[in-house]
C-alpha cells in the first residue's frame, strides 16, 4: 500500500530508501522529522530510492518521508542578479543571517525575496493576443539591467487584465482569458531544458580580453569550452578572469565542489569589482552559486543544473549569458559517489556508465537561439573547468568532455612553474570555431586576422621542433633563419601570450590591441629575415633592443602611438645594422 507519506527503510550516506511512498521519478520529498530535502532517483517495486541534499547523520529507519509531488525547481524572476545561492537555490546571505556561518538542516528558504516590491512597466495592453515566451513588461532589476517579464511556457490566449505598478512576485499583474494569472516570477524544473524556437550557428566570438583565448583559441557565443589542468595551473584564476571580462550581458558562476578558500575569494572579490562596460558593480549582472567541497554531495550534483536553468532564463530574455562551472570533475565525483551508494555497475575509474550522457546533456544546453515568443536572439556559453587527477587528460571526465566541446584550453603545470600565465599550452589546445568566426574577425578587426594567427601558430610549432635540436647541439648550431624563428616565437610567447591578471591595464586586452601587438611582432620577423638576406649577422639581429619595447606596450593604455613608434625604431635599428 502506497501513500503520499512513507517511512525510512535504509540509510547509506546521502542515499536513503523509503517504503510505502507513492512517488514518481525526480519528485522532491521531505525526509525525516527535520524534513530534509531530497529527490527520487530510483524506484524498485515498493522501494523508493532518494538522494538527500542535506547531511543525513542522525536519521534513523522508521522516520516519515513526505512526497511534495513537485520536481526539483528554481524560482525564476526579478531578484536573481546579485544573489549568492547554494546548490539548491537557497540564498546564502539570508541563511547566514538566520543561523550564522553553519547551515542547519531542514531549513527551507525561497530563492527570491517574496516581499520586495518591483516597479513593473507593462508593454502589452488589454485585448492583446499573447503566447508562451512573449514579453509582457519589464522591471529594472539592477542599475541598468532590465528584467523582461515573460509569459510562462504553455500559456497562450488574450490579455483580459494588465496593469503597471509596484508588485511583489506573489501578486497578480494580469490575467489571460480571465482565468490564468500572470505574475512576475514562475518556477521551472532544473533537469528540463527550457524550449527555444530555433538554434542558430555560432558566428560571433565571446570576447574575453585574454589574448591567448581571443587570438589563438576563440570561443563563440553559444559555444562550449573546457579548461582542464592539474592543481595549481591556474584554472580558477582563468575562470574568474573570464567571468570578469567576457563581453556577455549576464554571468552565472558555479563553484561546484571547489575548496572553500577559493570560493571565499570569489564571494569577497566579486561584489567589489567594477563592470568594465558600465562602470557599475559587476555583481549587478552576476549570479553566484557556491557549493563547496564540504557541502552535501547530492546538492553539488544539483548545483550545475540550477546554474544552467538560470542561464537559460536570461537567454530567453535576449541576453548573452556566460556560465562558468568550476569544476565539472567535482560534479562527476558527486555522481560517482551516489552511483556507488546505489550499488550500480561501475564504469571506467568507478564513474557511472552514464557519465558521458550526463556531461553531454549539460553542455548541449549551451547555444545561440531565438527564444520562443520573440525574435530577439539570446545565447548561453558554457565554460567548464576540469580537474584531472595528476593532470592526466586521458581520464574519463576530460575525455567525455572533449567529445562535446569545441574549444579546448589545456593548462600546463610546467608553464605555470615557469611563471607563464595564463598557462595555456598552445600545442595541445585548439578551437573548432575558427572557420565560423573568421568572417566576424575580418569584418570587425582586420582582414588579415586569420592569416596572421595561422602564421604565429606555425612559428610556435616550429619553435617546439627546434628546441629539441637546441637541447642537443645548442642554438648556435642552427641555421640563421631558424634562429630568427626562435627569437620571433619568444616574442609571441612573452609579449602576446603572457598576460598579467593582476595589472590594472594588462588584465584586459581589446582585440585591436592584440592585433597591433601581433602585427608589430610579425613586422620584426619580416625586418629580421630581410636583414639576414642583406648579410647582417644573426647575432646582431637577435640583440636588437627596440623589439623588447613591444613588451612594455602591454601595460600602456595609449598603445597605438607607442606600437607605431616601436615599429619605426625597429626599422631605424635594422637600417643601422645594414
**Domain 113-184: top CATH class:** mainly beta
Q: How many angstroms separate the CA atoms of 245 and 113, rounded?
A: 29
Q: Residue 458: which of 553, 525, 547 has the closest Cα?
A: 525
Q: Domain 198-430 belongs to what topology?
A: Rossmann fold (3.40.50)
Q: How many angstroms separate the CA atoms of 326 and 385, rounded?
A: 5
Q: Residue 83: which of 301, 197, 222, 250 has the closest Cα?
A: 250
Per-residue pLDDT of the chain (578 residues), as tens digits, is: 456 789 999 999 899 999 999 999 999 999 999 999 999 999 998 999 999 998 898 999 999 999 999 999 999 999 999 999 988 899 988 888 887 777 778 788 899 999 999 999 999 999 999 999 999 999 999 988 999 999 988 889 999 999 999 999 999 999 999 889 999 999 999 999 999 999 999 999 999 999 999 999 999 999 999 999 888 888 878 988 898 889 999 999 998 887 777 777 777 777 777 777 777 888 889 999 988 887 788 888 889 999 999 999 999 999 999 999 988 999 999 999 999 988 889 999 999 999 999 999 999 999 999 999 888 899 999 999 999 988 889 999 999 999 999 999 999 999 999 999 999 999 999 999 999 999 999 999 999 999 999 999 999 999 999 988 888 888 778 889 999 999 999 999 999 999 998 898 999 999 999 999 999 999 999 999 999 999 999 999 999 999 999 999 999 999 999 999 999 999 999 999 87
Delimit the domains of the chain by residue range: 5-71, 113-184, 198-430, 449-577
pLDDT value at residue 497: 96
Alpha carbon distances (Å) from 161 to 136, 164, 266, 310, 526: 12, 11, 44, 28, 71
The domains spanning 5-71 and 198-430 adopt the same CATH topology: no
pLDDT value at residue 547: 93
pLDDT value at residue 1: 44
pLDDT value at residue 243: 86
Q: How many helices (H) and strands (E) does the chain have?
A: 16, 26
Q: By three-state DSSP, how is residue 17 classified?
A: strand
Task: Please provide the DSSP assignment of 488-557 as one string.
Answer: HHHHIIIIII---TTSTTTT---HHHHHHHHHHHHHHHHHHHHHHHTT--HHHHHT-SGGGGHHHHTT-S
User: Hey, how many other C-beta atoms are within 10 angstroms of the C-beta on 172?
Assistant: 12
Beta pairing, strands 286-291 & 320-326: unpaired
All cell numbers assigned to 194: 527550457
Q: By three-state DSSP, how is residue 220 classified?
A: strand
Q: How many angstroms separate the CA atoms of 500 and 290, rounded?
A: 26
Q: How many angstroms separate the CA atoms of 420 and 105, rounded?
A: 45
pLDDT value at residue 474: 81
Q: Residue 276: which of 309, 251, 307 has the closest Cα?
A: 251
Backbone angles phi, psi at 322, to 5 degrees: -110, 125
Q: Domain 5-71 belongs to what topology?
A: Elongation Factor Tu (Ef-tu); domain 3 (2.40.30)
Q: Residue 382: which of 398, 358, 406, 400 has the closest Cα?
A: 406
Contact 242, 210 (CB under 8 A): yes
Domain 449-577 in CATH 1.10.1140.10: yes
Q: By three-state DSSP, how is residue 127 classified?
A: coil
Print burial letters for 124-149: b (CB count within 10 Å at least 16), e (below 16).
beeeeebeebbbbbbbebbeebebbb
Q: By three-state DSSP, how is residue 27 classified?
A: strand
pLDDT value at residue 444: 97
pLDDT value at residue 297: 83
Q: Has this prediction a pTM greater than 0.85?
A: yes
Contact 287, 251 (CB under 8 A): yes
Alpha helix ranges (H) inside 364-407: 396-404
Beta pairing, strands 367-371 & 378-386: antiparallel
Amino acid at each position: 500500500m502506497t501513500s503520499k507519506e512513507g517511512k525510512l527503510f535504509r540509510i547509506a550516506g546521502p542515499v536513503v530508501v523509503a517504503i510505502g511512498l507513492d512517488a514518481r521519478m525526480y519528485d522532491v520529498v521531505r525526509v525525516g522529522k527535520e524534513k530534509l530535502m531530497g529527490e527520487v532517483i530510483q524506484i524498485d517495486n515498493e522501494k523508493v530510492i532518494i538522494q538527500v541534499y542535506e547531511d543525513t547523520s542522525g536519521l534513523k529507519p522508521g522516520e516519515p518521508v513526505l512526497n511534495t509531488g513537485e520536481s526539483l525547481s528554481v524560482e525564476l524572476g526579478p531578484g536573481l542578479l546579485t544573489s549568492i545561492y547554494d546548490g539548491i537555490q537557497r540564498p546564502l546571505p539570508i541563511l547566514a543571517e538566520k543561523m550564522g556561518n553553519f547551515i542547519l538542516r531542514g531549513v527551507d528558504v525561497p530563492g527570491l525575496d517574496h516581499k520586495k516590491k518591483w516597479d513593473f512597466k507593462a508593454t502589452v495592453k488589454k485585448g492583446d493576443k499573447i503566447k508562451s515566451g512573449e514579453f509582457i513588461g519589464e522591471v529594472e532589476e539592477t542599475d541598468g539591467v532590465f528584467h523582461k517579464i515573460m509569459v510562462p511556457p504553455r500559456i497562450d490566449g488574450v490579455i483580459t487584465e494588465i496593469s503597471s505598478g509596484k508588485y511583489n512576485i506573489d501578486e497578480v499583474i494580469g490575467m489571460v482569458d480571465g482565468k490564468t494569472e500572470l505574475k512576475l516570477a514562475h518556477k521551472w524544473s532544473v533537469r528540463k531544458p527550457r524550449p527555444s524556437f530555433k538554434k542558430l550557428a555560432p558566428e560571433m566570438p565571446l570576447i574575453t580580453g585574454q589574448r591567448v583565448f581571443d587570438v589563438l583559441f576563440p570561443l563563440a557565443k553559444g559555444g562550449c569550452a573546457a579548461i582542464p589542468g592539474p592543481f595549481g595551473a591556474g584554472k580558477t584564476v582563468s575562470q574568474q578572469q573570464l567571468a570578469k571580462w567576457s563581453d556577455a550581458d549576464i554571468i552565472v558562476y558555479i563553484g561546484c565542489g571547489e575548496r572553500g578558500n577559493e570560493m571565499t575569494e570569489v564571494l569577497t572579490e566579486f561584489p567589489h569589482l567594477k563592470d568594465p562596460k558600465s562602470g557599475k558593480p559587476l555583481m549587478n549582472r552576476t549570479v553566484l552559486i557556491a557549493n563547496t567541497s564540504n557541502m552535501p554531495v547530492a546538492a553539488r550534483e544539483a548545483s550545475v543544473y540550477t546554474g544552467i536553468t538560470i542561464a537559460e532564463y536570461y537567454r530567453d530574455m535576449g541576453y548573452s549569458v556566460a556560465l562558468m562551472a568550476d569544476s565539472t570533475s567535482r560534479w562527476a565525483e558527486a555522481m560517482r559517489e551516489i552511483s556507488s551508494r546505489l550499488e550500480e555497475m561501475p564504469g571506467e575509474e568507478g564513474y557511472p556508465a552514464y557519465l558521458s550522457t550526463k556531461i553531454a546533456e549539460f553542455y548541449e544546453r549551451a547555444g545561440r537561439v531565438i527564444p520562443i515568443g520573440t525574435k530577439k536572439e539570446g545565447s548561453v556559453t558554457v565554460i567548464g573547468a576540469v580537474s584531472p587527477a595528476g593532470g592526466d587528460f586521458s581520464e574519463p571526465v576530460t575525455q567525455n568532455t572533449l567529445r562535446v566541446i569545441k574549444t579546448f584550453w589545456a593548462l600546463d603545470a610546467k608553464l605555470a612553474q615557469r611563471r607563464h600565465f595564463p598557462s595555456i599550452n598552445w600545442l595541445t589546445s585548439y578551437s573548432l570555431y575558427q572557420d565560423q568566426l573568421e568572417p566576424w574577425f575580418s569584418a570587425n578587426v582586420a582582414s588579415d586576422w586569420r592569416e596572421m594567427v595561422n602564421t604565429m601558430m606555425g612559428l610556435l610549432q616550429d619553435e617546439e621542433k627546434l628546441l629539441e635540436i637546441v637541447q642537443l647541439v645548442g642554438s648556435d648550431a642552427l641555421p640563421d633563419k631558424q634562429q630568427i624563428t626562435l627569437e620571433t616565437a619568444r616574442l609571441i610567447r612573452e609579449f602576446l601570450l603572457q598576460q598579467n591578471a593582476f595589472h590594472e591595464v594588462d588584465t584586459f586586452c581589446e582585440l585591436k590591441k592584440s592585433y597591433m601587438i601581433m602585427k608589430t611582432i610579425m613586422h620584426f620577423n619580416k625586418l629580421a629575415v630581410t636583414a639576414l638576406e642583406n648579410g647582417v649577422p644573426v647575432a646582431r639581429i637577435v640583440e636588437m633592443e627596440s623589439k623588447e619595447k613591444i613588451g612594455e606596450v602591454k601595460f600602456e593604455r595609449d598603445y597605438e602611438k607607442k606600437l607605431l613608434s616601436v615599429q619605426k625604431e625597429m626599422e631605424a635599428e635594422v637600417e643601422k645594422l645594414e
